Structure 1
Amino acid sequence: MSTHNFGALRSAVIEASLAARWAQAVEEWEVVSVEEDPRATGICVCGKTGLVYLYTIHNRQTQQTLFPIGSSCVNLFEVEELDATVAVLRRLFDLRAAFAKGERVELTSEYFSRALLADLWQNGAFPANEYNRSNGDNDYKFLLDLFNQRHDFTENEKRKVWVLLNRTVRSFVMSDERLA
């Protein structure tokens, strides 16, 4: 596995950006998806080989896309929002794998984070229905409140969490287009 070449990364990013300098160019980009290469044959735009998780970044100004790019190269952008998106997409990817394998998914830090719950909410994972008083925000707030709690859930809370995770969240994650 070769290491990344910052010069190649910088050239690719600036070439596909409006800005002519790295510090400004990195602000134009967003992480839009991730896919897995289990054989680790992915080659980053910087030249690094052996990538398993292949991210796609998109420039909001030029509509250019760079793929594949590794998480360590995205981290070189030093843009907090990009780093957070990489982390959330990776957690979503792992969550989808757990659901696909039939693992028991629980509302714990093994599978979830506050950022992941917020991403699910922001991307429409909690639709309005009769059980959340026609407001999906209520399901998000319920899961977030329980995730932040330091005590065991009541039986009713356990049942509601199970339904939300195994019906609502599962169906959303399994069809999330950001996860190739």
Structure 2
Amino acid sequence: MSIPVRKNLYDAVLEASKADTWEQATKEWSEVSLIFNGIGRSNCVCGNAIKYAYELFNGVTGKRLFPIGSDCVRHFQRISLDQQLEEEEKLLRKLENLTRKVQKKEVIRVNKTDFDERLINWLWKKGAFKSNRGNQFSPEKDYHLFLEVFQGGSWTKAEPLKKARMEEVLEKFIKPFLLGKSDDQLYLVKLGKEKIDYEQELRIKAEKERKKRDKIAKQYADNLVLAMGPAERAYQDYFGLSETLTLEERQWEKILFGKNRTERSIKSKQYQRELEKDQRIASQDPLERKQKQVWLLNSFFKDIPEEKARFSRLLTIYRKTGEIPFSREYLSNHLFDFFYKMKAFEFEIAPDKVRDFLKESLKAENLSSAQKSWIEGILTNCIKPFLERMII
């Protein structure tokens, strides 16, 4: 005899389904996945307390049901869901074992006792692997390293440098994630400063090698081409540049990223200031913010309505895609002046020069890989946060 379905679960499923009967509605649900954060119990949509929560996906309506316990998943009486649930419960046992070891501060190794490929994939999808200097700000490198060592046999056979890196990832990221103690906000502030420091260090080393290469080249024929040094090559690879910087681009690089260590150190502090600014803005009354934004837009674009329409297109495409197209359809000199006046570039070393660089780049027929890289950084660090704060 089957256990009757709780009313809360029954109502929640029908509300998120296209069908209007329980038997037909349950057929729409096609996927179940484990949502785990290691921070204790919560309540299922049916009302019962559950320690580990699952999520169901409706393939017809596209809606998700969360949190839901394993007992309620079995109420759907779908073989496919039961099979998925069985796989998820195998993963759960691995997670429970690993979390228990973390809590008891026991030794953890990347072997078949503590890990499997599914668990590593799950940790990757949940964001347990994070960017930092050790992986050159590419967390997928750590993910592939764990897979490589696991598939290769065992932790003990790993090369010393790889083993040291995995121990760092376990201590700094995976263990705090399993304990539910990771502070994403503090991590992002630290990451921002760490990344800028690393990039500035690369620029300084590359610049020294460029100067040395230029000095040697001047002593010989003008058509002499010298190979790049290791620091300059590392700089090119990190930023994805496909050609060496021209003299003009070197001048822009010094303007945008600082001519000396003092200027560069100013830029490395910007993330903390940006966070503080975001916190101040978030504490403002939403209605007042909206009224102020409307007034600023109307005031600035009063005599240039076509630019106000362009800004509207930019805001619409950003909200739709999350991207900012660097084209004259969405950007213009007037808009760069607007962003400058609204202090979107205030945390850059030379805000007015950033504006000038964007204006010149927008006029260019072909952009170099260096220009593209710098433009992407400015759009991400300056204009995207500004658009995020728009609530009109």
TM-score w.r.t. the length of structure 1 is 0.66
Question: Which segments of 5 or more consecutive residues in structure 1 lack a partner in the other structure?
Answer: none
The answer to whether the Cα contact below 8 Å between 1:74 and 1:82 also exists between their aligned partners in 2 is no
Among 141, 144, 149, the alignment partner of 1:141 is 144
Structure 1 equivalent of residue 169 of structure 2: 164
Stretch moving more, 113-122 or 79-88: 79-88
Structure 2 equivalent of residue 18 of structure 1: 17
Counterpart CA distance in 2 for 1:18 and 1:96 is 35
Higher relative contact order (CA 8 A, sep 6+): 1
Structure 2 equivalent of residue 8 of structure 1: 5
The count of aligned residue pairs is: 165
Among 111, 127, 133, the alignment partner of 1:108 is 111
Stretch moving more, 73-82 or 132-141: 73-82
Counterpart CA distance in 2 for 1:148 and 1:87 is 19
Cα distance, 1:150–1:29 mapped onto 2, change above 3 Å: closer
Cα deviation, 1:104-146, whole Å, max 9, x if unaligned, reads 1111122211111111112221212111122000000001000
The structural deviation recorded for 1:76 is: 5.0
Counterpart CA distance in 2 for 1:82 and 1:176 is 27
The structural deviation recorded for 1:33 is: 4.2
Counterpart CA distance in 2 for 1:75 and 1:114 is 29
Structure 1 equivalent of residue 91 of structure 2: 88
Structure 2 equivalent of residue 130 of structure 1: 133
SS in 2 for 1:27: strand
SS in 1 for 2:35: strand
The structural deviation recorded for 1:90 is: 4.0
Question: Which segments of 5 or more consecutive residues in structure 2 lack a partner in the other structure?
Answer: 183-392
Amino acid at match of 2:117: R
As a proportion of its length, which structure holds more strand?
1
Cα distance, 1:73–1:146 mapped onto 2, change above 3 Å: same
Residue identity over aligned pairs, in percent, reads: 15
Counterpart CA distance in 2 for 1:157 and 1:123 is 22
Root mean square deviation of aligned Cα: 4.0
The structural deviation recorded for 1:71 is: 8.8
Cα distance, 1:124–1:30 mapped onto 2, change above 3 Å: closer
Cα distance, 1:142–1:74 mapped onto 2, change above 3 Å: farther
Stretch moving more, 13-22 or 68-77: 68-77
TM-score w.r.t. the length of structure 2 is 0.34
Counterpart CA distance in 2 for 1:158 and 1:75 is 44
Cα deviation, 1:135-180, whole Å, max 9, x if unaligned, reads 0000000010000003622333332222222232112222279xxx
